Amino acid sequence: MSELGLVVARYRRHSLIEDDDGNRIVCQFHGRALNPVVGDQVQWQSEPGGSGTITEVLPRESTLTRIDNRGNPEIVAANLSQLVVVLATGPAPDWFLLDRYLGAAALAGLKSVIVFNKLDDNDSPPDTLAGYRDLTDGICLTSAHQKLGLTELAACMDAERSAMIGQSGVGKSSLINALLGDKRQAVDELPDKGGHGRHTTTTSVLYGLPGGGELIDSPGVRDYAPYIADPREVERGFKEFGQFSTKCRFDDCRHLAEPECAVKAAVASGEIAERRYESFKILLELTESLRKKRR
């Protein structure tokens, strides 16, 4: 008999699902076409030995995607409502990477929160961060080590299903440990049920937060770019462009070499940050180059 379940961790060939009673079961996939990701609602059925089989992935309300090493779309997580991007004093913030994360959130219809971590009592965030206050749904200043700003961060994640992402080394794991306390599950050390052997997480893990909401821990990265099929959609990932792009001379303005471009005029006047405009051009060029390869 088939049951509903939530994918809370993904392994190379199996997933860990949670049923309505909070039980967690290691499941194989019924057919190679199935590719469940963390956050998916699935249909599954029990198997002898305590394992299970996922038979269907239910329709997704939202997806966070990235470009894989072959230039194809890869779904990182499903059914999110918010993206939480972690920066830190070290490694130095990659603002272009941040722009791509925020663009991914905007294109997927997700809220976005920036967390600047590793700030001690006497530290101040970089001036660049202030330019993002109107581009996100919140900015939290934290120190996982000194337990600063954690209450505010938890409040931002209450009642949301958030994916926490960021560069390697920004202290994401320390923040997650601080938020979860002793509730963090060691899902990468599961017992071998059903004879499937050792399980190693390869993508993301979902946790329930003590104060409410859910958190998906996504692996740290050196680089990231959202998969965008149509280059005309790129500007939707840059929130501040909207009020200007409607005033361009041409409806299909790419905001590059076209005359009477209101977006370029806003960059020249300082109403749009020049660095954000450079981020837009880089992402547009990448999207266009991938589209040409697909033809």
DSSP string, 35-102: ---TT-EEEEEE-TTS-EEEEEEPPPS-EEEEE-TTS-EEEEEES-SEEEEEEESSSPP-HHHHHHHH
List pLDDT tens digits, range 33-57: 899 999 999 999 999 989 999 999 9
Question: Could you give the domains of the chain?
Answer: 2-57 (2.40.50.140), 63-217 (3.40.50.300), 231-294 (1.10.40.50)
- Please tell me the predicted confidence (pLDDT) of residue 120: 83
State how beta strands 139-141 and 111-117 pair. Answer: parallel
- Please tell me the predicted confidence (pLDDT) of residue 138: 96
Q: How far apart are CA 153 and CA 139, in angstroms?
A: 9
- Please tell me the predicted confidence (pLDDT) of residue 198: 42
pTM above 0.75, yes or no: yes
- Please tell me the predicted confidence (pLDDT) of residue 293: 83
- Please tell me the predicted confidence (pLDDT) of residue 184: 56
Low-confidence ranges of the chain (pLDDT < 70): 121-122, 182-203, 220
DSSP designation for 145: T
Q: How far apart are CA 126 and CA 88, in angstroms?
A: 10
